[in-house]
Amino acid sequence: MRTVYVNGEYLPEDQAKVSIFDRGFLMADGVYEVTSVLGGKLVDFDGHVMRLQRSLSELDLAAPISMEELLAVHRELVAVNGIDEGMVYLQITRGAPADRDFVFPDPEVTPSTIVLFTQNKPGLAASPAAKKGMKVISIEDQRWGRRDIKTVQLLYPSMGKMMAKAAGADDAWMVEDGHVTEGTSNNAYIVKGNTIITRHLGTEILHGITRAAVLRFAKEAQMKVEERLFTIEEAKAADEAFITSATTFVMPVVEIDGAKIGSGAVGSVATRLREIYLEESRKAAI
């Protein structure tokens, strides 16, 4: 049985409890982070903590523990649960006030709730999906307007994954005003020649920690990067496509709305970026 962390305590998973009045449960009033684990170490922990602090401050949500303690909790959970490859999930909500009320509770009276748990995923880095590539469909982006804040409002992304599944695909790319925003749980890219194209940062997408690292590695490897809008039509005419996220790293996309991208096989740019990302991440993991 897993050991999890809830509000200062390490507990067996079946003894960890959160109140029914918790605003994370009642109102999706909470933020989260997912940090991957490679070789028992945390990948890009500083990036995840920085984004967490930004998400908290945008929502005027208090951090229940210091960022140094947070690192210690991550490491303890990875150690006690014997995680070599997998991830650590972290969630902070606006706590459990005495009654349900739209008004934010006083943080002095209602402390934030914090929960962390691990998921073991042996073989995460050697995923066969990276050799095969993914199929995606396009769907309308019907999420709220502050996608740069990593909130636990994941209903529409879940619906998107179900729409993809029903269509025989692996995931969905969301489209707003004719332009691709991102994948349901990942950032979206296309490749044309030696140029990698991905949507620019803003409130319309999550500022992926993997995105930042991959774009940096791409530039270091003399690839050209354009951060701009692109359409599904442009994506269908691209040489390659791929996604990035903390738990999929770099994952090739070989089909969009039934149309093959390039030759329909996994592309060399995505494959190379995945190799570089995994190598550099293992080196820098803490």
Q: Position of tokens 């947070």?
A: 70
Of the candidates 144, 136, 236, 221, the one whose C-alpha atom is nearest the C-alpha of residue 187 is: 136
| Contact indicator for 279, 38 with CB cutoff of 8 Å | no
The set of residues, in sequence order, having a beta carbon less than 8 Å from that of 15 and lying 6+ positions away, is none
- C-beta of 165: minimal distance to ligand PMP in Å? 17
Q: Does 187 bind ligand PMP (CB under 6 A)?
A: yes
The set of residues, in sequence order, having a beta carbon less than 8 Å from that of 144 and lying 6+ positions away, is 153
Q: Does 211 bind ligand PMP (CB under 6 A)?
A: yes
Please report, in angstroms and rounded to a whole number, the separation of the first and last CA atoms in the chain. Answer: 25
Binding-site residue total for ligand PMP (CB under 6 A)? 13
Nearest residue (CB) to ligand PMP, 110 versus 187: 187
Q: Does 185 bind ligand PMP (CB under 6 A)?
A: yes
CA distance 120 to 247: 11
Q: Which stretch binds ligand PMP (CB under 6 A): 123-131, 205-213, 230-238, 264-272?
A: 205-213
| Contact indicator for 252, 271 with CB cutoff of 8 Å | yes
Q: Position of tokens 């006083």?
A: 106
Q: Does 171 bind ligand PMP (CB under 6 A)?
A: no
- C-beta of 39: minimal distance to ligand PMP in Å? 19
Choose, by CB under 6 A, the member of 93, 118, 151, 186 that binds ligand PMP.
Answer: 186
CA distance 266 to 135: 11
Q: Does 113 bind ligand PMP (CB under 6 A)?
A: no
Binding mask 236-275 for ligand PMP (x = CB under 6 A): --------xxx-----------------------------
Q: Does 182 bind ligand PMP (CB under 6 A)?
A: yes
Choose, by CB under 6 A, the member of 206, 253, 261, 269 that binds ligand PMP.
Answer: 206
Q: Does 139 bind ligand PMP (CB under 6 A)?
A: no
CA distance 226 to 194: 11
Radius of gyration of the chain (CA): 19
Q: Does 95 bind ligand PMP (CB under 6 A)?
A: no
Q: Does 86 bind ligand PMP (CB under 6 A)?
A: no
Q: Which of 41, 150, 161, 192 is catalytic?
A: 150
The set of residues, in sequence order, having a beta carbon less than 8 Å from that of 220 and lying 6+ positions away, is none
Choose, by CB under 6 A, the member of 95, 208, 252, 267 that binds ligand PMP.
Answer: 208
Of the candidates 95, 88, 101, 90, the one whose C-alpha atom is nearest the C-alpha of residue 29 is: 95
Contact set for ligand PMP, span 33-72 (CB under 6 A): 34
Of the candidates 201, 253, 251, 257, the one whose C-alpha atom is nearest the C-alpha of residue 225 is: 201
Choose, by CB under 6 A, the member of 139, 210, 252, 277 that binds ligand PMP.
Answer: 210
- In the chain, DSSP finds a helix count (H) and a strand count (E) of 8, 15
Q: Is 150 a catalytic residue?
A: yes
- C-beta of 17: minimal distance to ligand PMP in Å? 26
Binding site for ligand PMP (CB under 6 A): 34, 182, 185-187, 206, 208-211, 244-246
Residue numbers annotated as active site: 150
